[in-house]
Amino acid sequence: MKFREANKKDLNGIIQILIESYISLEGSKELAKKEYKTELNYGHHFFIAVEKKEVIGLIAWFYHGLKKHCLIEIDRFAVKSEYRRKGVGRKLFQKLIENLNKYFSKYGGVRKVFLVTRKKNKRALIFYKKLGFKKVGELKNHFYKKVDYAILEIYPKLIFE
């Protein structure tokens, strides 16, 4: 398995994972493509896992505030369905942290990573807990009415070093 920042050639592989992993994209290729391009324009980075030239996992991230704050938000995290429960997500996250430590090396590496995930997404909550994330709050009626989100955070230095 290889890990790297995505490039233009990865478009189709990324779209495939997005449409099968996110309810809001409703299995629509066109919608997923539009969303992906919008997120790239916002400055989101897509870090991917590749197996035999196939994109099998992705994490979309961006930093908040100034670069020196070394504060990352993860916006998307998904593994292609047939590759789930094989350790791809965990490995991808570890590699992302290594990469972020290089990206923020001038400031001592990545300091904190946070994300929000639907409270009903029990699989994701278990997964993030296994990675070492802690729940620090909740957001009610967040993206949609009656859909609540958990706020999770991790200080990677405490987990990986």
Ligand X SMILES: CC(C)(COP(=O)(O)OP(=O)(O)OC[C@H]1O[C@@H](n2cnc3c(N)ncnc32)[C@H](O)[C@@H]1OP(=O)(O)O)[C@@H](O)C(=O)NCCC(=O)NCCS
Positions that interact with ligand X (CB under 6 A): 21, 76-79, 84-90, 117, 121, 123-124, 126-127, 130
Q: Which is nearer to ligand X, 105 or 147 (CB)?
A: 147
- Cβ distance to ligand X smaller for residue 82 or 161: 82
Least distance to ligand X, CB of residue 107, Å: 27
For residue 70, the minimal CB distance to ligand X (Å) is 22
| Closest CB to ligand X among residues 74, 110 | 74
Classify 18 in phi/psi space as left (phi over 0), alpha (psi -120 to 50) or beta: alpha
Burial of 133 per CB tally in 10 Å (0-12, 13-18, 19+): buried
Using Cβ positions, the residue closest to ligand X within the complex turns out to be: 89
**Cα–Cα nearest to 58, from 25, 23, 10:** 10
> Rounded to the nearest 5°, which phi and psi values hold at 79?
-120, 140
